[in-house]
Amino acid sequence: MKLVDNKATLTFSNGSPSVELPVYGGSIGPDVIDIRKLYAQTGMFTYDPGFLSTASCQSAITYIDGDKGELLYRGYPIEQLATHCDYLDVCFLLLNGELPDEKQRTDFHKLVTNHTMVNEQMQFFLRGFRRDAHPMAVLTGLVGGLSAFYHDSTDINNPQHREIAAIRLIAKMPTLVAMAYKYGVGQPYMYPRNELSYAGNFLRMMFGVPCEDYKVNPVLERALDRIFILHADHEQNASTSTVRLCGSSGTNPFAAIAAGVACLWGPAHGGANEACLNMLEDIQRNGGVAKVGEFMEKVKDKNSGVKLMGFGHRVYKNYDPRAKLMQETCNEVLEELGLGNDPLFKLAKQLEKIALEDDYFVQRKLYPNVDFYSGIVQRAIGIPVNLFTGIFALARTVGWIAQLNEMISDPEYKIGRPRQLFTGSPRRDVPGVKK
Ligand code: ACO
């Protein structure tokens, strides 16, 4: 962190002495006021529920400019990465800071590919779940369960353990997600095939069956790879902050990532793609495009509790750049599968058109986020709606690990421990206790 030629002065109207606070600058983006010594100097905390103005760490991984609608992984624009790299290149970049050269690329692909199988015992663990369990419930358990199988990579303070855990998690997530799916539909698990790409292998583990060969469709393979790239990291969002906070206690990497999976499940975060598709299906059932206007009135009515899922973002106050790329992929996939007239896609386009022109959305700067179109793409590929968030977790695993490892290597890292403004009862005695 660099001190900038600026200082903040905090003054109090009650006459308490004012304090000077250092200001640090990053490479781009807003400067930060360092309040670490504030409590020692004033006896006061800051109050910022939801972290609206608080940087919880320094990070060199992902940068978002929400007003411009810009997303950079290690400095590279998401649009360039999505069109010129594959997901494993992006994983290498997020973990190591640079894109791989040719040799590094070959070695990294080989390394990940060689860890795709999971301990055979995992499937017996999986059998403990009901067949109709939500895949995110299953995944939270399976990812946390990895720490019970891979004892040689659970010491978060050991850089080698962290490196092996990273590769294992990236390599095994597709296998676990596909196993959770196969278990739910009662089909045999498909073991990974090392000659396939990361996305191709996942498609085969999901949709292949042992009784016949599976041919990977290159359009769907590319689409899935793009979904993975677009979801790979997104700086200090709820699940990433959860992983950092969980890992800050020194817990093992598998447990910290399982915490991220659990957090991602919520409909305000990774669960939004599932919620968005359910919303589109609901509107379609109730009259489709003709009922869009009526639905939008409900969205704008604060008492209805209805939100336009897939719209709005804490950081983006402009088009989410990932949504544009996802819309492109959506067109490609629907065309490839002959679903150009898909009613849900038409419905989504109509909702988007109305929302982008409506005062309610314009004034609040609400634009489509990545989840608005990713659900339609996944549904077209054949992925069941309740597995959408699992796919997101698979893709985000690398971001969580990169952020966790960055935190552990940061000499300024401490266990996370927020403070509070206490509003409960002051000390009192239980009735009958003699003073
Ligand atoms: N539909 C209708 N109104 C909305 C929506 C929406 N999708 N999103 C925000 N608003 C309104 C709020 O009601 C609020 O209005 P007000 O100022 O009149 O009270 C205003 O816009 C600001 O919204 P906040 O809720 O304060 O914004 P916040 O940053 O807290 O929330 C969030 C962001 C959670 C993403 C929100 O926009 C939302 O719930 N969207 C729908 C769910 C979704 O798509 N989530 C995916 C996020 S992206 C991801 O995780 C990959």
Q: Is 151 a catalytic residue?
A: no
Residue 377 included in any domain: yes
Whole-number Å distance between alpha carbons of 3 and 5: 7
- The residue whose two tokens read 């002051």 is 426
Q: Are 191 and 117 in contact (CB under 8 A)?
A: yes
Residue 73 included in any domain: no
Residue 356 included in any domain: yes
The CA angle 203-241-260, to the nearest 5 degrees, is 35
Give, for all 435 residues of the chain, the pLDDT tens digit.
Answer: 888 989 999 999 999 999 999 999 999 999 999 999 999 999 999 999 999 999 999 999 999 999 999 999 999 999 999 999 999 999 999 999 999 999 999 999 999 999 999 999 999 999 999 999 999 999 999 999 999 999 888 888 898 999 999 999 999 999 999 999 999 999 999 999 999 999 999 999 999 999 999 999 999 999 999 999 999 999 999 999 999 999 999 999 999 999 999 999 998 888 888 889 999 999 999 999 899 989 999 999 989 999 999 899 988 888 889 999 998 999 899 999 998 888 888 898 888 888 889 999 999 999 888 888 898 899 999 999 999 999 999 999 999 999 999 999 999 899 999 999 999 999 999 999 987
pLDDT at site 267: 87
Q: Which atom of ligand 1 is nearest to the CA of 364?
A: 21
Residue 97 included in any domain: no
State which residues form the domain around 34.
Answer: 2-55
Q: Are 153 and 165 in contact (CB under 8 A)?
A: yes
Q: Which residues lie below 8 Å from residue 53, measured CB to CB, with a gap of 6+?
A: none
pLDDT at site 406: 97
Distance 364 CA to ligand 1 centre (A): 9
Residues 142 and 6 in one domain: no
Q: Name the pTM for this structure.
A: 0.92
The CA-atom distances, in angstroms, between 158 and each of 154, 161, 165, 172, 302 are 9, 5, 11, 21, 50
Count of beta carbons in the 10 Å neighbourhood of residue 178: 24
Residue identifier of the C-alpha nearest atom 19 of ligand 1 = 302
Residue 327 included in any domain: yes
Residue identifier of the C-alpha nearest atom 22 of ligand 1 = 364
Distance 362 CA to ligand 1 centre (A): 13
Residues 137 and 20 in one domain: no
Residue 78 included in any domain: no
Residue 96 included in any domain: no
Distance 311 CA to ligand 1 centre (A): 7
Residues 205 and 343 in one domain: yes
Specify the number of domains making up the chain.
2
Options 86, 89, 225, 371, the catalytic residue:
371
Distance 38 CA to ligand 1 centre (A): 32
Pocket of ligand 1 (CB under 6 A): 268-270, 272, 299, 307-314, 364, 366, 369-371
Options 134, 233, 313, 320, the catalytic residue:
313
Residue 89 included in any domain: no
Residue identifier of the C-alpha nearest atom 31 of ligand 1 = 314
Residues 49 and 157 in one domain: no
pLDDT at site 239: 98
Residue identifier of the C-alpha nearest atom 11 of ligand 1 = 364
Q: Is 152 a catalytic residue?
A: no
Q: Which atom of ligand 1 is nearest to the CA of 369?
A: 48
Residues 135 and 253 in one domain: yes
Q: Which atom of ligand 1 is nearest to the CA of 370?
A: 51
